[in-house]
Amino acid sequence: AQSVTQLGSHVSVSEGALVLLRCNYSSSVPPYLFWYVQYPNQGLQLLLKYTSAATLVKGINGFEAEFKKSETSFHLTKPSAHMSDAAEYFCAVTSFGNEKLTFGTGTRLTIIP
């Protein structure tokens, strides 16, 4: 079985500060990993994905994530937070040929002006 754990259900950062959202995965096979963002009253939108190519993945809106097998992690970062980044962020895992995504419980990001 695959799973992801998101550390911190709520994260607050000041505008312009570094954003770091943590995700650790558990998988007995090589994982595919995803970050989704959910803005208020909207569905989830794909930010970026790792599917066994480059370990540093760049996504939309200036976000990036690095796959670290030794740490079983896929943390999401952005160098400088913007007010528009306030949203809920979900990490998800699957594997090659798998039908389903397994989501973490989400991290709500608040940006402090």
State the residues that interact with other proteins by CB under 8 A.
32, 36, 41-46, 49, 51, 90, 94-106
The whole-angstrom separation of Cα 101 and Cα 36 is 11
Would you give the end-to-end CA distance of the chain in angstroms?
41
Is the Cβ of residue 40 or residue 113 nearer to other proteins in the bound state? 40
Quote the least distance from Cβ 65 to other proteins, whole Å: 16
Is the CB of 54 or the CB of 112 nearer to other proteins? 54
CB-CB contact of 47 with 61 (8 Å): yes
Cα–Cα dist 81/75, whole Å: 15
Shortest gap between Cβ of 46 and other proteins (angstroms)?
5
Least separation in angstroms between residue 16's CB and other proteins is 30
Rounded Cα gap, residues 31 and 2, in angstroms: 9
Residue 14 or 52: the one with the smaller Cβ distance to other proteins is 52
Beta strand 19-26 pairing with 44-50: unpaired
